[in-house]
A and B are shown apart, each in its own frame.
Chain A
Amino acid sequence: MEVDKGKGEAEETRKVAEADRDTVTLKSSDGKLFEVSKEAAARLSTVLAGMIAGGSIDDNGTDLKQIGSEALENVVDYCNKHANSIPSAALISSSISFNTAPFKEPEEWERKFVDRLSHDALFDLVEAANFLGMERLLDVTCHKISEMMKGKSPDQIREVFNIKNDYTKEELEEIRQELAWAFYDD
């Protein structure tokens, strides 16, 4: 099977990576092949790290049946970008406030990376990151989704995410009473 002609930077990094023979090939559910830096894949994904260490990587393309080609392309793109990026000081330095410690703020390029994604692509990427055990990518994507919910009323959130309101009138009234303060802007 022909290697999929990835777009933009994924393509370029792939060429470089091929020359180094330091890559692994991943196959999406719809049979497309992607190459990714072995070092970045092992560092960013616990699942891929396990497969590389366990020798279950297929040179002709390791099957990832749960991940579609669009999501896998984003995963690979993210890994390759990550392989080339220098961590910022903000990431290295430890924070005094434990409040921020467990979640690292996304870097500028990571923000841009998820900002350009469509709604569908973002959610596919969350699931792919979850499946592959990619903690950092999960951080970035969940951060993006939480940003989309912050400061919004339930009505506004339902609209953004197309959530069906299945409450009865009575239930809704009960919730309003319970959390009166939360519905100020409804």
Chain B
Amino acid sequence: MDHLSSLPVEMHEEILRRLPLEDAIRTSGLANSWRYRWARCPGLKLVFGEDDSTTAAAVDAFLARYTCNVSHAQIELGDEPHTIDIDGWLRALAAKAIRYLVLRFMPSDSSLLRIMPLAPASLFSCSQLTSLVLERCNIPALPPSFNGFPSLETLQLDVVNFAENGEKTFEALIAKSPLLRSLNCQYPSISGDDDDNGGNYCEWTIRAPNLKLLSFWAWEDYGWRVYDLPQIEEACVHLTGPDLARFLPGMTRVKGLCMVITVDTILEQLPYFMYLKDLALHTLLTKSSQVLSMLCILRNAPNLENLHIMLVQEQEDTGDIEVNMGLLDAQGTVGFFSRLKSFQLYDSMGHKNEMCFIEFVMSKATILQEIEIYIHEYSSKSMEDVYDESSQYKRASPHAEIIVNRYVPLFADYFISIVSGCTNDIFIFQRRIRCTLQSLMYVYT
């Protein structure tokens, strides 16, 4: 007996939806009752390039004959994107009201990594998009006919380049997505007509009235700044230049913030972050610019409850500041750590500056419950030393518990500092902070 064909239609659809596209289409060949079943089965997803199970010819056949809307498409193009009519695919998907689109250009040959293919302009005709992920491509100028992405809520740009007049394209792309609630940019770049313009980019603004989650990582300052984000809840920013100071004033309503303070960061005049409860910093405590920038944000976050500091350890001693209680007390004592419940210090060597900062936190935080110190594996100080030393400090909160742990790095080369340009630890840090802040950054729903 043919059990499969006698199942109810909705079961056939459940099964078809679980098959790779090519296998689903191939069921046409089974029998008359199967011939166009896949073509009428709602919810089939276009997945191309993740494995080799679906050929470009199968995608062509799918787009030509499928009668339902396509809500999800994930397309990863490898070494020869030119042999594939990606422009035609996207036009067909736009006509099928595509909502979730992932488009990645992933050459298997790493020598091709430098060449970024141009994303087809038909991308901008996908007006029903709610979620868009683009990776490793050039974004063309917006066509005059572009009416925006009125439903777009999640935008992720991984290593994309905006070509000529890219500032305007980047700005308009965000501004014309009025419902955007999550923006995730990983190392975007903007290349003008003249690549040697020495970082002279015209200033442009990220305007996103509904943005709740912002993740922004860049090596270079491309002139961006953030206009007041009234809905912002969580942000994770890694900016190495003066752009951090142009981002923070737009994010005063943030509840969870994760950021990197580098040697080039200078934070002096900041607004208050009255909603900020969770703060994660990646910094070092030996440079005056970083220490003062850190104190600047801490001073302006009076409702902070959880503080995580991930220390960057430098191999050579290039510190230019001695952190002592005099310096810290000179920052003004009102409001410092008055709501702080927990403080975590990762990757500590137990150096004098670090111990002094620990002492400072303990002396100010009146309702502190827990202080956790993770000792770096190369630290010359033992966990007992650090524990004994910190136990001697005056505690503003008598019940504060001190916990000292050995820090186990995920990678052997973790020692390399973020400042020297290693990307690995950024991602480790981001992952940890994502757990800490329970960020929803990448969750599509």
Contact = CB atoms under 8 A, between A and B. Distances in A.
A167 B32 contact: yes
Interface string A123-157: 10011001000000010001101100111111001
Given A142-B15, A181-B55, A163 B31 contact: yes
B8 A130 contact: yes
A182 B18 contact: no
B74 interface: yes
A181 B57 contact: yes
A161 B209 CA distance: 55
A15 interface: no
A119 interface: yes
A2 B216 CA distance: 66
A167 B17 CA distance: 24
A182 B74 contact: no
B10 interface: yes
A146 B50 CA distance: 18
A88 interface: no
Contacts of A167: 31-32
Interface stretch (B22-30, B106-114, B200-208, B220-228): B22-30
Interface string B30-65: 111011000000000101001001010110010000
A165 interface: yes
B45 A179 contact: no
B403 interface: no
Contacts of A89: none
Interface string A158-180: 10011111110001100100111
A175 B58 contact: no
Contacts of A109: none
B66 to A, nearest CB: 13
A56 interface: no
B442 A96 contact: yes
A126 B7 contact: yes
A99 interface: yes
A101 interface: yes
A155 to B, nearest CB: 8
Contact of B7 (A120, A127, A166): A127
Given A130-B10, A146-B15, A164-B31, A98 B25 contact: no
Contacts, number: 115
B19 interface: yes
A98 B444 contact: yes
Contacts of A162: 1-3
A169 to B, nearest CB: 14
B343 interface: no
Nearest to A160: B4
A129 to B, nearest CB: 9
Given A150-B19, A175-B29, A182-B25, A98 B72 contact: yes
Contacts of A127: 7-8, 11
Contacts of B87: none
Contact of A146 (B19, B28, B55, B74): B19
B249 interface: no
Contacts of A163: 2, 4-5, 30-31, 34
Contact of A166 (B31, B442, B444): B31
A97 B28 contact: no
B273 interface: no
Contacts of B252: none
Contacts of B17: 103
Nearest to A145: B15
Contacts of A97: 74, 102
Nearest to B35: A175
A179 B29 contact: yes
A179 to B, nearest CB: 6
A125 to B, nearest CB: 11
A149 B23 CA distance: 8
A94 interface: yes
Contacts of B230: none
Nearest to B74: A99
B215 interface: no
13 contacts: A99-B47, A103-B17, A120-B3, A130-B11, A142-B14, A149-B27, A157-B27, A158-B30, A167-B31, A178-B28, A178-B61, A179-B61, A182-B29
Closest 6 CB pairs of A and B: A154-B29, A123-B3, A146-B18, A181-B57, A161-B4, A182-B26
Interface of B: 1-5, 7-8, 10-11, 14-15, 17-20, 22-23, 25-32, 34-35, 45, 47, 50, 53, 55, 57-58, 61, 72, 74, 100, 102, 131, 442-444
Interface of A: 94, 96-99, 101, 103, 119-120, 123, 126-127, 130, 138, 142-143, 145-146, 149-154, 157-158, 161-167, 171-172, 175, 178-183, 186
